[in-house]
Amino acid sequence: MESALVAKYGNARLPRYTSYPTSPRFSPAVDASTYDDWLATLPLDKPASLYVHIPFCRSMCWYCACHTTITRRDLPIHDYLQMLGKEICLVSARTKGRLNIDHVHFGGGTPTIMQPKAMLALVGLLREHFDFNRTVQIALEIDPRSLEQEMAAVLGEAGVSRASLGVQSFDPVVQTAINRAQSEEQTMDAVSRLRGAGVDSINFDLVYGLPHQTVESCIETTRAAIAMGPDRFAVFGYGHVPFLKRHQRLIDENALANSQGRVAQEEAIAEHLLAAGYRRIGLDHFARPDDSLAIAQANGQLHRNFQGYTTSACETLIGFGASAIGRVAGGYVQNEVHPGRYARRIASGNFAIVKGYRLSAEDRLRADIIERLMCDFRVDVPALAVAHGFEPGALLDGNDRLAMLESDGILENVAGVIRLRKEGRFLIRAIAAAFDAYLDVSTRTGTKAA
């Protein structure tokens, strides 16, 4: 990528666009009663997805931007799971248990922090209260440092089909700087246990832009990770937001790469993954050619939600747990973030929704445009506008951001069909931002484009 473009666009804080509008637009105007009404009108003839948030870890990784709580005891986890079960029952009662589920994702935190029997019981409770498809995909995020053989076996028994392992970096200098010591042996042991238990698909998360990270250390980590044979990689840029996550203040800002350094690290990782036979999926994923994610991209059926790129086209995503975000036809909803306050709301017999967003017709159009850009690096704006009942000119005429990007040679605009022109995938978020009606309201919570 040309250094001038990196300098111009790379430091802009932009959303990752896992939703549109993005979460800073959520407000208390959408509350538990709104959610109750929306659940009552869900289309039960269409598939839905579930997201289950487990907000606990044994130690804090300083780079982390997730909603999580550190605990050395099991009692808080046990109590939280009791409330999670009550929330599952509340949603089931409102939807009469007729939701047809084709995707389930357990995130955190560390979902495998619970006891194996508790994990089996939780999956069993979900199956009891919702109608799981025979081909349902169950995915789960894992900290390889703490995955025991018993838990791996339980995951296989519960029908988990994909596990996402946090790797970040194998460089010991980087690991010390982010408070996460994780050996290659621990990671390989976790992979072996999962595959032995029948968990067929393995994803590795890698991160660039971490303190003291270099192009060379990124390459070494990538080579070691490839040797372990994962099916997918997610390659994320570290988002330094100490104004939102206080523990990130423990990271030495002077040890962070600049925008051009981050681009060089990302390109080095990508080069080695492509050389190893992985295909690039959207902004930050890589997958083997026979992986469902690669097939979905080739067929123009790739989608994007709060977990990133997905094969799920579900409009309905039900979120369970503290801080969980969901989407239904009416809009977005988010639970109380703090586990204690979440538990008190659920214990009272009410939903824990504290904010959300009611989608307008224009929001839906812009969301579709942004999703296609993020997934395909191309979008036919006039076709989507007409399909949504809008005039294309409402989005294209006078769009100064779009005009600037075209002038800089980043995109091609032929009668409203927008294509990313340069091999600078970092900049796809800058193109998506050209269709974000709310971007100038608040960009403080975004991450750097490069």
Q: Is the pTM of this model over 0.85?
A: yes
Single-letter residue type at 302: L
Asked if pLDDT for residue 425 goes beyond 90, the answer is no
Q: Using one digit for the tens of pLDDT, what is the confidence trace for 196-239? A: 999 989 999 999 999 999 999 999 999 999 999 999 999 999 99
User: What does the pLDDT read at residue 422?
Assistant: 67
The pLDDT > 70 percentage for the chain reads: 96
User: What does the pLDDT read at residue 10?
Assistant: 67
Report the C-alpha dihedral over residues 379, 383, 387, 391, rounded to 10 degrees: 110
How far apart CA 297 and CA 303 sit, in angstroms, is 9
How far apart CA 240 and CA 446 sit, in angstroms, is 10
Partners of residue 281 on adjacent β-strands: 285
- SS3 string, 226-240, reads HHCCCCEEEEEECCC
What is the sign, positive or negative, of the torsion defined by CA atoms of 436, 440, 443, 448? positive
* pLDDT, the chain, mean: 93
Asked if pLDDT for residue 444 goes beyond 70, the answer is no
Q: For the residues 399-407, what does the mean pLDDT come to? A: 93
User: What does the pLDDT read at residue 97?
Assistant: 78
Asked if pLDDT for residue 450 goes beyond 80, the answer is no
Asked if pLDDT for residue 421 goes beyond 90, the answer is no
Return the SS3 of 163.
strand
Q: Using one digit for the tens of pLDDT, what is the confidence trace for 2-47? A: 678 777 876 677 888 999 999 999 999 999 999 999 999 998 778 9
- SS3 string, 323-362, reads CCEEEECCEEEEECCCHHHHHHHHHCCCCCEEEEEECCHH
Q: Using one digit for the tens of pLDDT, what is the confidence trace for 124-149? A: 999 999 999 999 999 999 999 999 99
Asked if pLDDT for residue 1 goes beyond 70, the answer is no
Residue that has been written with the tokens 């040890």 in this structure = 255
**CATH of the domain spanning 361-439, picked from 1.10.10.920, 3.30.930.10, 3.30.479.30, 2.40.50.140:** 1.10.10.920
Sheet with 378-380: list strands edge to edge.
378-380, 417-420, 411-414
User: What does the pLDDT read at residue 439?
Assistant: 86
User: What does the pLDDT read at residue 220?
Assistant: 98
Domain locations along the chain: 20-320, 361-439
User: What does the pLDDT read at residue 213?
Assistant: 98
Residue that has been written with the tokens 């991450």 in this structure = 447
Residue 291 has which token pair? 């992986």
User: What does the pLDDT read at residue 447?
Assistant: 61
- Quickly name the fold that domain 20-320 has: pyruvate-formate lyase- activating enzyme (3.80.30)
- Angle between the 116-129 and 75-95 helix axes, to the nearest 10 degrees? 10
CB 137 within 8 A of CB 161: yes
The pLDDT > 90 percentage for the chain reads: 84
Asked if pLDDT for residue 442 goes beyond 60, the answer is no
Q: Using one digit for the tens of pLDDT, what is the confidence trace for 325-375? A: 999 999 999 999 999 999 999 999 999 999 999 999 999 999 999 999 999
Could you check whether 20-320 and 361-439 share the same CATH topology? no
Q: For the residues 174-189, what does the mean pLDDT come to? A: 97
Q: Which of 6-15, 281-290, 303-312, 371-380 has the lowest mean pLDDT?
A: 6-15
Q: Tell me the DSSP string of 49-87.
A: EEEEEE-EESS--TT--S--EE-S-SHHHHHHHHHHHHH
The residues, any chain, with a CB within 8 Å of residue 139's CB and separated by 6 or more, are 103, 104, 105, 106, 160, 161, 162, 163, 164, 307
Q: Using one digit for the tens of pLDDT, what is the confidence trace for 58-76? A: 999 999 988 899 999 999 9
